[in-house]
Structure 1
Amino acid sequence: MPKRKNTSIKDYKLKSGKKRYEFVISLGQNSNGDRVQVHRRGFKTYAEAEAVFNKLSQTKPDNFVKQKQIKVSELRDLWFENYKTQVKESTANKNKQVFDNHVIPDFGNQYVDKITVAELQKWADMKAKQIVKYRDAINEFNALFEYGIRLNYVSENPLKRIIIPKKTSRPRRDTEHNVYTREELNQFLEVAKEYGLVQYTYFKLLSATGLRKSEALALTWQDIDLKAGTLSINKTLAYGLDNKTIIQPPKSPKSKRILPISDSLKEVLIDYKQKQKIISNKLFHTIKGTYLKMSKPDQWLKSIYAKDHEEKVKYAKTHNLKEPQPDLRHITVHGFRHTFATLLIAETNVKPKTVQMLLGHENIQMTLDIYTHVNNKNKEDAVNALKQLNI
């Protein structure tokens, strides 16, 4: 057996009789004049202890990171107090939700410097199977480690060493199916009109402008110039800290825009304004005149689909039909924005830059992705048409 040169590394025995290694190393004085001395123990082999000893021997006193100084939940709270003052309140709230739902349950009580690369790899792989936006969780946790390095709580970021999963097993909703044809849209709006004026006006507005649901909920009558036929988007609803509803600037600079209003939408808005009980300058509001919650449109949509089903079942029974007519195909609230964009591109000669302006996309690539989707659909239609023609 080769002679062990480092006399600072000593062996000792556990109660079970197993041998372990330990050492004490002095790094010198830090800038505060304090002597930095490190004691490490529990190594299974001499080589393992020597590797850590050699690494510590290269560490300057001021750069030394003590073990088990702070837990993930404690570091997150420390970091969040600073972070929330630098971003939109809605962004801070989303960040907090990501941590609360996907990081804290798994690592909240662990010391930051004791988390291993293997643990993080297993966690990242698991999140990729559980959620679509798994990269958000990884990125937020990565930012926390970087913050820990700046505060000298950890010496390195172990997340930098994992292999980021390439895809999730839970695919995003297929945009192609989360959109209505013009006929389907007309059928939906007829049902919505029977359901209620507020709900009909809201979904007519989304369908005719491509607004995001939060932008439409934030509208006031001052934002609409019925005489000029324009609509101004200058604010949006969002979830703030503690999930309270707040008003803030639009999603991005490009989201702040002025849109033309179609004659059809103009008629609906005039009728809505005349029939609405004016207790607020907001287009859509509670009985007390306050902004509605962000979840309200989803509740409306669910109720409209339920009404459609009930009416068709009732009609079938009344007319002694064995089966009721098919229900309206279900899409999401965001699907009405997709519907507007798809019909706009498919039925007009509009250019991508114009679509980008109307939708308030931050970059043209988002708009081009919609163009690609529509063009691919046109190709499929062309192939099917030629097959049917069969000349």
Structure 2
Amino acid sequence: MSKRIKSKKYVGVYYRDLANNDRVFEFTYKDINGVKKWVKVGLASHNINEAYANRKRIETISKIKLDGDEPDFIKKRKAVKKLILNTVAVEYFKDYETRSKPNIFKESLFKYQNKIEPYFGNKAIDEINKESIDKWLNVFKGEYKQASINSYHATFKAIINFGIKEFKELENIANPLSKISIKDPQNERERVLSTNEIKHLFDCLIHKPKAYLYVCVALGTGARPQAIITTQKKDLDIPNRTLTFPALKKGKRYPVPLIESLFQKLIEATKDLKPDDYIFHPDNPKTDTTRPITYEGMKGQIQPLLDDLFNRGFDRNDRKHRVTFYTFRHTFATHLVKNSNVNILDVKKLMSHSRLQMTERYTKVELHKGTQDALNNLYS
């Protein structure tokens, strides 16, 4: 094939000299993906010339359909702006706020803003598919309770169902969440550290001061991991001997009284910090007290040891038996309610739960001795 020669007079117009001494004229434009498309106009022997090829190019770009369809670049200009998830979510939560209790509304909004929006907020709803949702759900496996994962799924599904009902642009789409069956939350965490296991863990952490302090706070307050790593020096109330944790699920900050040993450790750890400095800050590649350490950074210092001490032989997704960051929270609540003098309503406050049922699910209480003795001697 002979070489294309660019017209010196018209943009996008080319010609090629053929072996039979004829000349063929062509023009080019870019499609929606930025790829050149070539259109053959005709031969000089058929009275086609550069001016005619240029007119055809202008007509194509402006209005003429090519082979019964518009060029891709024209389609792109005419394309209707797609409806993204955030647009539907705003209207959904306006409606939901009018028909739900304030705490339930806040919890649902929190789930969307923290678990759904970062992944899908700016994505067109008709482009959200089962594969992308499966990948999203897999992010939470191993770290979140199945009941929590199911609630994220339910919130997501409800938003899209609302969109299908209320937005004409979505009336013909199928909700991709309906294609994904949720799992029964039967594999919930049951693992709680014993007193001896806690002592052994601390012995192994003695040379890792930041990890040691984190575990002290986790086991001494029952706070959620993200709440712990975002505490600042000013959250330590020395006169009242409390540590106040930032709002997460419930939407309200809450203080937790500190036992004397933990209180002294926090005073020592924060003595050189400014009020706005974070107690758990990154030290690699350099110390920066003005921002909190990441969840992954803190986990990376502790989880390998937990796996070595307690998780050998267990599947990574075995939530019932593996020890994770959330085991500290379960351990705190369980050991606390073993004391007969403890009021479970106080535990609910310390755990920052909105409902008592949540506190009861977090605690694994042994049978009272009298009940256990009766069972042992039931048929004797």
User: TM-score, normalization: structure 1?
Assistant: 0.54
- 1:378 — aligned with what? 367
Q: Structure 2 matches for 1:39-50, cutoff 5 A? A: none
2:331 to 328, 339, 364: 339
Q: Structure 2 matches for 1:149-164, cutoff 5 A? A: 149-155=165-171
Q: Structure 2 matches for 1:175-214, cutoff 5 A? A: 175-177=189-191, 179-194=192-207, 196-214=208-226
CA contact (8 A) 1:98 1:137 kept: no
- 1:230 — aligned with what? 242
CA contact (8 A) 1:206 1:336 kept: yes
Q: Indicate the SS of the match to 1:176.
A: coil
Alpha-carbon distance between aligned partners in 1 of 2:358 and 2:328, rounded to the nearest angstrom: 17
Q: 1:224 to 1:188 in 2, by over 3 A?
A: same
Q: Structure 2 matches for 1:270-349, cutoff 5 A? A: 270-273=267-270, 281-286=277-282, 287-289=287-289, 290-305=291-306, 331-349=323-341
Match of 1:184, as an amino acid? Answer: E
- 2:351 — aligned with what? 359
1:140 to 130, 137, 156: 156
Q: 1:298 to 1:156 in 2, by over 3 A?
A: same
CA contact (8 A) 2:92 2:159 kept: no
Unaligned runs of 5+ in 1: 1-68, 111-118, 236-248, 310-328
CA contact (8 A) 1:145 1:154 kept: no
CA contact (8 A) 2:205 2:212 kept: yes
- 2:318 — aligned with what? none
Alpha-carbon distance between aligned partners in 2 of 1:210 and 1:159, rounded to the nearest angstrom: 38
Unaligned runs of 5+ in 2: 1-77, 95-105, 311-320
- Mark the structure with the bigger radius of gyration: 2
Q: 1:370 to 1:82 in 2, by over 3 A?
A: closer
Q: CA deviation at 1:354?
A: 0.5
CA contact (8 A) 2:243 2:258 kept: yes
**Aligned: 1:95 with 2:147:** no
Q: 1:97 to 1:386 in 2, by over 3 A?
A: same
Q: 1:277 to 1:138 in 2, by over 3 A?
A: closer
- 2:127 — aligned with what? 108
Match of 1:252, as an amino acid? Answer: K
Q: CA deviation at 1:199?
A: 0.9
Alpha-carbon distance between aligned partners in 2 of 1:168 and 1:250, rounded to the nearest angstrom: 25
Alpha-carbon distance between aligned partners in 1 of 2:124 and 2:169, rounded to the nearest angstrom: 18
**Aligned: 1:252 with 2:266:** no
**Aligned: 1:174 with 2:212:** no
Alpha-carbon distance between aligned partners in 2 of 1:228 and 1:282, rounded to the nearest angstrom: 20
Match of 1:180, as an amino acid? Answer: L
Q: CA deviation at 1:366?
A: 0.9
- Greater RCO (CA < 8 Å, at least 6 residues apart): 1
CA contact (8 A) 1:213 1:297 kept: no
Q: Indicate the SS of the match to 1:378.
A: coil
Alpha-carbon distance between aligned partners in 2 of 1:89 and 1:174, rounded to the nearest angstrom: 22
CA contact (8 A) 2:219 2:332 kept: yes
Alpha-carbon distance between aligned partners in 1 of 2:202 and 2:368, rounded to the nearest angstrom: 29
User: TM-score, normalization: structure 2?
Assistant: 0.55
* Percent identity over paired residues: 18
Q: 1:138 to 1:70 in 2, by over 3 A?
A: farther
CA contact (8 A) 2:86 2:117 kept: no
Q: What do the CA deviations read for 1:337-366 (whole angstroms, capped 9, x no partner)? A: 111000000135211210111111011221
Match of 1:262, as an amino acid? Answer: I
CA contact (8 A) 1:259 1:358 kept: yes
- 1:319 — aligned with what? none
Q: CA deviation at 1:383?
A: 4.3
Aligned residues: 264
